[in-house]
Amino acid sequence: MKQLGEQLDQAARLDDGTVAQFLLDNPDFFIRNACQVEQMRVPHVNRGSVSLLEWQLARQRNHIRLLEEEITLLMEQAGANERLFNRLLYLQSDLAAADSLLDMLNRLQHWARGLGLSGAHVRLFTDKWYIGAPSDFTHLGISRTAFEPLRIQRLGQGNHYLGSLNGPELLQLLPQARQVGSVAISLMGENGDLGVLTFTSRDNQHYQPGMGTVLLQQLAILLPGLLARWVGRS
Residue 83 pLDDT greater than 80, yes or no: no
Query: HEC string of the chain?
Result: CCCHHHHHHHHHCCCHHHHHHHHHHCCCHHHHCHHHHHHCEEEECCCEEEEHHHHHHHHHHHHHHHHHHHHHHHHHHHHHHHHHHHHHHHHHHHHHCCCCHHHHHHHHHHHHHHCCCCEEEEEEECCCECCCCCCCCHHHEECHHHHHHHHHHHHCCCCEEEECCCHHHHHHHCCCCCCCCEEEEEEECCCCCCEEEEEEECCCCCCCCCCCCHHHHHHHHHHHHHHCCCCCEC
Tens digits of residue pLDDT in 186-217: 999 989 999 999 999 999 999 999 888 888 89
pLDDT tens figures, 144-194: 999 999 999 999 999 999 999 999 999 999 998 888 999 999 999 989 999
Predicted TM-score (pTM) of this structure: 0.67
**Per residue in 87-107, pLDDT tens?**
788 898 999 999 999 999 999
